[in-house]
Amino acid sequence: MIQPGRFITFEGGEGVGKSTNIQFCAEWLRSHGVEVLVTREPGGTPVAETIRNQLLKAHHSEPVDPMAELLLVFAARAQHINTLIKPALIAGKWVVCDRFTDSTVAYQGFGRGLPQAWIEELKLLVQRGLEPDCTFLLDAPLGIGMARARGRAISNGDVIDRFEQEQQEFFERVQQGFHWLAQHNRRMRRIDASQPLDNVQAQIAAVLQELTGL
């Protein structure tokens, strides 16, 4: 009988190094014989990626309503869970995801000011009990994270997306949301992402050893 896989998520504000550390996590697991699927939110499937593009694109002539934004996030999540995440977990793969519902709480809840009760109702409807087994919260001072994010966008020639264009106050609320989540969820492992990368990855590896029993 195939053992179900495990679900690992990476969370944090802009520029905290999620992409680099997700790659490290996946490589560590594969080197220890674990089959891994790496994905992201919003997105992960063709339909969900289409929704992602609409969410990130700046709509100068028509601002996106916060409630519409929330519903789009969960629409992408429903598609992602049912067509990619759940089948992978059932097949015994470990799923490593760049953002999940914690980001919705932080960005749409704390950032946009939408009621947590709305998010919880949609979470129950869409996730149907699916929760990460472990969440790495990469945390860094806002100034460091935003400088990294904008520097990366410039060096890659990317357009700064709709969220990255938000004001400092928005990101302060988002960070408060992540800190609140870390205090109320035992599955979350908060890591100081402003320290040297080797230190960050040593802490991630220690948690992965716990999860795998290796």
- Tell if the pTM clears 0.85, that is, is over it: yes
Q: Are 125 and 37 in contact (CB under 8 A)?
A: no
Domain 7-212 has CATH 3.40.50.300: yes
Q: Is 73 annotated as a binding residue?
A: no
Residue whose tokens read 């793969």? 93
Residue whose tokens read 């919003």? 42
Summarised one tens digit per residue, pLDDT across range 18-64 is 999 999 999 999 999 999 999 999 999 999 999 999 998 877 678 88
Segment of 1-5, 11-15, 148-152, 153-157 carrying the highest mean pLDDT: 11-15
User: Dihedral of CA 160/166/72/11: which sign?
Assistant: positive
Query: Where does the chain show beta strands of DSSP type E?
Result: 7-11, 36-40, 94-98, 134-139, 188-192
Q: Is 129 annotated as a binding residue?
A: no
Q: Is 33 annotated as a binding residue?
A: no
Q: Are 11 and 99 in contact (CB under 8 A)?
A: yes
Q: Share the mean pLDDT of the chain.
A: 92
Q: Is 103 annotated as a binding residue?
A: no
Q: How far apart are CA 89 and CA 5, in angstroms?
A: 4
Q: Are 3 and 92 in contact (CB under 8 A)?
A: yes
One-letter amino acid identity for 74? F
Question: What secondary structure letter does DSSP report for 193?
Answer: T
Q: Is 12 annotated as a binding residue?
A: yes
Q: Is residue 213 left, alpha or beta, with left meaning phi > 0 and alpha meaning psi from -120 to 50?
A: left
Q: Is 5 annotated as a binding residue?
A: no
The domain ranges of the chain are 7-212
Q: Is 16 annotated as a binding residue?
A: yes
